[in-house]
Amino acid sequence: MRRTDSVLITCEHGGNRIPPRYRALFSGMESVLNTHRGHDPGALAVARRLSGTLDAPLFASTISRLLIDLNRSLGHPKLYSEATRDAAPATRREILERFYLPYRSAVEAQVATAVARGDRVIHLASHSFTPVLDGAVRNADIGLLYDPARTGEADLCHCWQARLKVAAPDLRVRRNYPYAGRSDGLTAFLRRRFPDVAYAGIELEINQKHVVAGSRQWRAIQDLVTETFRASLSACRDAARGRSTDSGRL
């Protein structure tokens, strides 16, 4: 059965907001909230651009990852930060139930609904990464994270990387960098629930050195990733149709 592609955009670290009732937990940590530890600068802008251009549903959170990390699995040691992991159990449970569970459940339900109607979901999660981590310079401008064992994800990321290199040869585009695509995260969670033919989960990572609000370069990068992603989706669909036609002739 040939499935129709259904694109889904998410942004788990779109802001650094701490609701008033939890701000006491962050006393003395206010400056940290404004760093890459508190959120992914630029990720929400890219997610909104992708969603608008592709007419795709967007699920985004502006709650700081330091309150609870929506891209971590239950039980992960970094689900809660140093500000919240020692909070009273009732407080942690409240945070989980108010922010984490509704977000994750809504995204999973969106995927399940699309798959049930026969679609293949192309899930693109928008993130960004700090240029320097623990003294080490990250040697990439754009990262595309995926599971190499999943053909749909691998094909799309290879195609996307090639198009990005043609369109912007000065930018370094790497696959499964600065993180491994199979690491714990929302896409990894959804892969365990939906097969390759029904779900492809990709994380887009953009180097935060490019995120300068209002700058021409930053707007150009947003245009670049959006247009090359759209073109790559189209190319992969055409390739899949070609393979299907060829198989039918055998």
Per-residue confidence of the chain (250 residues) as pLDDT tens digits? 568 999 999 999 999 999 999 999 999 999 999 999 999 999 999 999 999 999 999 999 999 999 999 999 999 999 999 999 999 999 999 999 999 999 999 999 999 999 999 999 999 999 999 999 999 999 999 999 999 999 999 999 999 999 999 999 999 999 999 999 999 999 999 999 999 999 999 999 999 999 988 899 999 999 999 999 999 999 987 776 655 444 444 4
Residues in the chain: 250
Burial level of 240, CB count in 10 A (0-12/13-18/19+)? middle
Q: What is the pLDDT of residue 249?
A: 47
Orientation of helix 216-249 relative to helix 151-167, angle to 10°: 130
Helix then strand then coil, % of the chain, to nearest 5: 45, 20, 40
Domain with residues 4-249, CATH architecture: 3-Layer(aba) Sandwich (3.40)
Which of 78-105 are b and which e, b meaning 16 or more Cβ less than 10 Å from the residue's Cβ?
ebbbebbeebeeeebeebeebbbeebbe
Q: Which residues contact 147 (CB under 8 A, 6 or more apart)?
A: 153, 154, 181, 182, 187, 188, 191, 201
In whole angstroms, how far apart are CA 23 and each of 33, 78, 80, 97, 202? 11, 19, 15, 18, 33
Dist CA 144 CA 172 (whole Å):
11
Beta-carbon count within 10 A of 65 CB: 24
Dist CA 180 CA 164 (whole Å):
20
Q: What is the pLDDT of residue 148?
A: 98
Question: Residue 70 in contact with residue 103, Cβ under 8 Å?
Answer: yes
Q: What is the pLDDT of residue 214?
A: 87
Burial level of 227, CB count in 10 A (0-12/13-18/19+)? middle
Supply φ then ψ for residue 97, to 5 degrees. Answer: -75, -25
Identify the CA nearest to 43 among candidates 22, 68, 71: 71
Dist CA 42 CA 211 (whole Å):
6
3-state class of 22 per DSSP? helix
Q: What is the pLDDT of residue 237?
A: 79
Structure token pair of residue 113: 């609904």
Q: What is the pLDDT of residue 243?
A: 58
